[in-house]
Structure 1
Amino acid sequence: MGKNQLLLLLHFIFFIKLISLQPISTTEFIFNTFNSSNLTLHGATTLDEEHNILTLTNNSAFTMGRAFYTSKVPTRTPNTSKIISFYTSFIFSMTPVKGSFPGHGLVFLFSPFATIEGGSSAQNLGLFNRTNDGNEDNHVLGVEFDVFENPVFSDIDENHVGVDVNSLTSVVARSAGYWDDVKVDKFKSLKLNNGVNYQVWIDYQDSLLNVTMAVAGMTRPKKPLISDSLNLCDVFLDEMYVGFSAATGQLVETHRILAWGFSNTDFLVGDRLVTSNLPSFLPPGTSVFATKRFIIGMSVAIVLFICCALLICVLLIKRRRKMKRDLEAMEEWELEYWPHRITYQEVYTATKGFSDENIIGVGGNGKVYKGVLVGGVEVAVKRISHETEEGMREFLAEVSSLGRLKHRNLVGFRGWCKRERGSLILIYDYMEYGSLDKWVFECDESVMLGWKDRVRVLKNVAAGVLYLHEGWESRVLHRDIKASNVLLDRDMRGRLGDFGLARMHGHGLAAGTTRVVGTAGRPIEEGKPPLVDWIWGLMEKGELVNALDENLKAKGGFDSDEVEWVLRLGLLCAYPDPGTRPTMRQVLKVLDRTPSTDESEGDLLEKMKSSTMWSKYRRGSHKGAHPTFEQIRQSISSSMSLSGSDIIMEGR
């Protein structure tokens, strides 16, 4: 090699070295307060001028917001694939909104663009949408703080921190919290969206990403929450925007950034964030024992508490004296049913002050609460409005009828209570399994009552009605028998309840029903025959078994002959001619398959087997036509009263 060529080679090597020694551009900033001059805001993001903080989303549903540092930051050494180290720390707060379920979370991110395009709300956190999630051309790195467990993204739980690379399916995720510095194996969980201010540290150096978090004001834990080897060569461009994204959906919470620092060179950038005297966004009722505001307020509260306690004592003494002096004037009906009366205080305590948490049902005239009386007795407490005439009628009907009836197939009546200028209250035995309709109409197939259980409950109800018609000193007409008024006790035994429309008649009175009362039932679908006509038609075709619900058929366990037997009995009970209908005693014997020598019961069995009488119905030779649904609907408005004209046929 010649001398000139050697000199040329040395100059070339020197030039390459000179280029490689050129300083790398770096970025560093500290924001202990925020202003619009150094941030780009998108979507729902705003600057809270009162606290000088960043609010990514407010208390609105289906919103998203982003905030970016105005300039791009260097992320890769020019003309190489080497990723530049970065260190960032920020303080955030997620606060639930009263009356809404909280969600969804926020993300610290690197992005090629400082826009909001490409993101969507709810579980997407404003980061991606359905079409671009998982696209390698996104060039996005995110660290998510997610409070919604979405199986679509393989989330580990509903309170986690995850690292996202071009996708919302995290490459690594951990439950939110930190490792104790003293007890190194002790992990302390943190709830992300309880309103507490948390500080986060995120570092990337030599392909190692560390994510650490703790309560703001604490020293940075030594052991990171996440430490993962991550190659970002195919993710980062030479320069990227850095910032935050957050979103709400049907789940709503407020996402705030209180302080933020970023550096390519300073590992301790988080130490320069101000963590004292930060605004508090704890929701009402959250403990704040460690704050100065609490200490000052507590000092004042102690003095006020003593004064209030003395005042309350004086008022209680006066109230008790007044109650002894001014006994509530009792109405005539109260004197008759006094033995069943329970004190209001006992009922109030049993229901925890009529707490909404104790509500187990809502009726037309009030709510039903679960309660526990002194001694641990579980009861159902029905609170009826005293303001309406209908509510008063229902109350008196229940007390006057059910209050004196005792039968294992009737809901047990414990007592009543009347609050001055307030509510009328009825107390019953608590039925563990609720109403029958929840087990036959509004339930999963796995828990739906099978055929045998339904027949057993049918027998229970028939036994209860027989007692009402024949077993007491007066005949009691329930007038509103339906699935929602049949309750199931702990043995799944059917008990008839809700006597709000009940009437009593003396035995031996000749009567005839003059109007429809109670619940007319659900409307028949347009274009389809009434339910009774439909069953009649199936019977004429010999297809009565097809009347069974498809889910019940799938469950199995029924006997086709028994199904036909029960449905024929039901048709007899709904027969247009009242004189043809069976008595409840006959119904019960038929259900029990009890042999009988009684001539009338023998006739009943023949009617069930014969098709002649059914054809009479179809030809219209019956005495009275079965009412159509429209006739029932038109009469319903005038049928809810307890007038003297509402009576039934003898023995039915």
Structure 2
Amino acid sequence: MFPPVLFILFLQLTVPASSLDFLFNSFTDTSAAANITLTNDARIQPPVIRLTNDSNQFSLGRAFYPSRIPFKPSNSTNVTTSFSTQFVFSVLPDIATSPGFGLAFVLSNTTSPPNALAGQYFGLFSSSTTSSPAPLLAIEFDTGRNPEFNDPDSNHVGIDLNNIESVITQTAGYYNATGTGNSANFTFVPLDMRNGQNIHAWIEFNGPENEINVTIAPAGMARPARVMLSYRNPVIANYCGTEMFVGFSASKTQWVEAQRVLAWSFSDVGVSRNINTTGLPVFRLENSGSSSLSPGAIAGIAVGCVVAFLIVVCLVYWFWWKKRKEMEEEDKIEEWEMEYWPHRYSYEELSVATKRFSNEELLGSGGFGKVYKATLANNLEVAVKCVNHDSKQGLREFMAEISSMGRLQHKNLVQMRGWCRKGNELMLVYDYMPNSSLNKWIFDKPKSLVNWEARKEFWPMWPRD
């Protein structure tokens, strides 16, 4: 592997007869269109190159520099050309879980490799078992896993020699250095190439040494000091023709995956010039809710969230106010009630008096409901009988019945003191009887039966159910 300084000197000492050096920081002006050859569905979509067409089910596209580069003399088996290139690309699926494809940097003796297929073949290769008939070398940035190609994962970089099955692969990522010099430590950081982020790639091709070095990092980050993928093998010369095109290729099937080239720098006379990554666009999912948002859209979403929050607060307050109003209406003594008797108690007053209708204050229960002992604010002890009010019966008519019961006066009947209504539940308030009711001492199998003399005494009791 050549260190960067030695690689620069090596390029300067091996300058081909016809040198090439160019830099596209974007693909906006007309000079970019004049200096890029596009095939099939590839097109310039300022400020980027789009390699495939979303509308076509099976789409492939290629973008090449229009001039061939001499790689080795005629009838020679030795590659004499070396080059340095760097570019920024973005791969973005329409659906994150759909199959991935990616793109490839290509060295080819033709801009239209014969029998090339779309889908996982990058628009370069004909099948997984047949080598391409033309000299073809590709560095694939693969965002899908195809087990039949021995792909290690769905996010890797590989080197392909006339065949879709890579001779070497490496999970996409970069080495983060801590420390300096010989004491530097390198930690591998995985890099997702399929989330739309801009990826900066560097490739050094050393022809005489038959070596290819690949490095990637997020755009805007300094180039990592350590190469991610290195391949050195004399067989590389077998896949280079006397003259080769350099460029990019990509393909897809029915699943939309936008493959974009945002900038490109190339040189066969030295290290390629650095790309200005500060002004490059950043893409997000276009059709499934993850598109890049303008400041106006963000402000609109923020305002919408605030308005929705205020609406929810207003609705909560309205329901609370309505409920409270209903409770106040239930506790409010209306004018027509004044003609009846007895006294009407508020629900809150009886709730406090019975300790929130706790079981500790429960005196008894039956088919009619439950009876609780209550202590009013004036320390008067009463009994509260809760009964289920038939909602079909008019309240005024029911009050008339309660009024009649309240006027009953008898020494053996418990005096009714008042009432309360909450929804369909009615509470009747009576005098409290510490000795319980008479029927308990006569009919409920008491331990000692009350004799007739005691029964003749004035014994307050509850009205029978």
- TM-score (normalised: structure 1): 0.42
Q: Is the 8 A contact 2:127 2:164 kept in 1?
A: no
Gaps of 5+ in 1: 1-19, 327-652
Question: 1:255 — aligned with what?
Answer: 259
Aligned length: 298
CA offsets, 1:166-194, max 9 Å, x none? 11111110011111022733111111111
Q: Distance in 2 between matches of 1:167 and 1:99?
A: 28
1:157 maps onto 2:159 in alignment: no
By how many angstroms is 1:57 displaced? Answer: 1.3
Correspondence 1:407-426 to 2 at 5 A:
none
Correspondence 1:120-199 to 2 at 5 A:
120-130=117-127, 133-135=130-132, 137-182=133-178, 184-199=185-200
CA offsets, 1:624-647, max 9 Å, x none? xxxxxxxxxxxxxxxxxxxxxxxx
1:222 maps onto 2:217 in alignment: no
SS in 2 for 1:123: helix
CA offsets, 1:124-154, max 9 Å, x none? 111111287324x421110001122112211
Structure 2 counterpart of 1:247, which letter?
S
By how many angstroms is 1:83 displaced? Answer: 2.7
Equivalent in 212, 216, 220 of residue 213 of structure 1: 216
Correspondence 1:26-37 to 2 at 5 A:
26-34=19-27, 35-37=32-34
Correspondence 1:192-591 to 2 at 5 A:
192-205=193-206, 206-231=209-234, 232-269=236-273, 271=274, 273-283=275-285, 309-319=309-319, 321=321
Question: 1:54 — aligned with what?
Answer: 49
- Higher relative contact order (Cα pairs below 8 Å, separated by 6+ residues): 2
Structure-2 change in CA distance of 1:154 and 1:310 (3 Å): same
Q: Distance in 2 between matches of 1:173 and 1:165?
A: 12
Q: Distance in 2 between matches of 1:41 and 1:322?
A: 69
Q: Distance in 1 between matches of 2:263 and 2:113?
A: 22
SS in 1 for 2:51: strand
Q: Distance in 2 between matches of 1:257 and 1:22?
A: 27
Q: Is the 8 A contact 1:118 1:132 kept in 2?
A: no
By how many angstroms is 1:88 displaced? Answer: 0.8
Q: Distance in 1 between matches of 2:21 and 2:40?
A: 26
Structure 2 counterpart of 1:228, which letter?
Y
Structure 1 counterpart of 2:317, which letter?
I
Q: Is the 8 A contact 1:104 1:146 kept in 2?
A: yes
Gaps of 5+ in 2: 1-12, 180-184, 327-465
Question: Which protein has the bigger strand share?
Answer: 2
Q: Is the 8 A contact 1:77 1:84 kept in 2?
A: no
Question: 1:363 — aligned with what?
Answer: none
Q: Distance in 2 between matches of 1:57 and 1:275?
A: 23
Equivalent in 101, 109, 119 of residue 104 of structure 1: 101
Q: Distance in 1 between matches of 2:196 and 2:245?
A: 28
Structure-2 change in CA distance of 1:322 and 1:69 (3 Å): farther
Q: Distance in 2 between matches of 1:220 and 1:116?
A: 33
By how many angstroms is 1:109 displaced? Answer: 0.5
Q: Is the 8 A contact 2:51 2:63 kept in 1?
A: yes
Question: 1:474 — aligned with what?
Answer: none
Report which of the two structures shows the higher radius of gyration computed on alpha carbons: 2
Identity of aligned residues (%): 34
Structure 2 counterpart of 1:181, which letter?
A
Q: Distance in 1 between matches of 2:282 and 2:245?
A: 29
Q: Distance in 2 between matches of 1:31 and 1:154?
A: 35
Q: Is the 8 A contact 2:15 2:268 kept in 1?
A: no
By how many angstroms is 1:118 displaced? Answer: 2.6
Structure 2 counterpart of 1:257, which letter?
V
Structure-2 change in CA distance of 1:159 and 1:100 (3 Å): closer
Q: Distance in 1 between matches of 2:69 and 2:105?
A: 14
Deviation larger for 55-64 or 257-266: 55-64
CA offsets, 1:242-274, max 9 Å, x none? 1111111244311110011111022243x1x12
Structure 1 counterpart of 2:166, which letter?
S
Structure 2 counterpart of 1:236, which letter?
C
CA offsets, 1:437-471, max 9 Å, x none? xxxxxxxxxxxxxxxxxxxxxxxxxxxxxxxxxxx
Structure-2 change in CA distance of 1:300 and 1:74 (3 Å): same
By how many angstroms is 1:122 displaced? Answer: 1.1
Q: Distance in 1 between matches of 2:325 and 2:99?
A: 52
Q: Distance in 2 between matches of 1:98 and 1:59?
A: 12
Q: Distance in 2 between matches of 1:21 and 1:226?
A: 24
Equivalent in 40, 59, 77 of residue 43 of structure 1: 40
Structure-2 change in CA distance of 1:315 and 1:213 (3 Å): same
Q: Distance in 1 between matches of 2:221 and 2:280?
A: 13
- TM-score (normalised: structure 2): 0.58
Q: Distance in 2 between matches of 1:152 and 1:299?
A: 48
Q: Is the 8 A contact 1:66 1:116 kept in 2?
A: no
Q: Is the 8 A contact 2:103 2:251 kept in 1?
A: yes
Structure-2 change in CA distance of 1:142 and 1:324 (3 Å): farther
By how many angstroms is 1:208 displaced? Answer: 2.0
By how many angstroms is 1:237 displaced? Answer: 1.4
SS in 1 for 2:178: coil
Q: Is the 8 A contact 2:52 2:59 kept in 1?
A: yes
Q: Is the 8 A contact 1:112 1:140 kept in 2?
A: yes
Q: Distance in 1 between matches of 2:66 and 2:190?
A: 35
Q: Distance in 2 between matches of 1:91 and 1:99?
A: 21
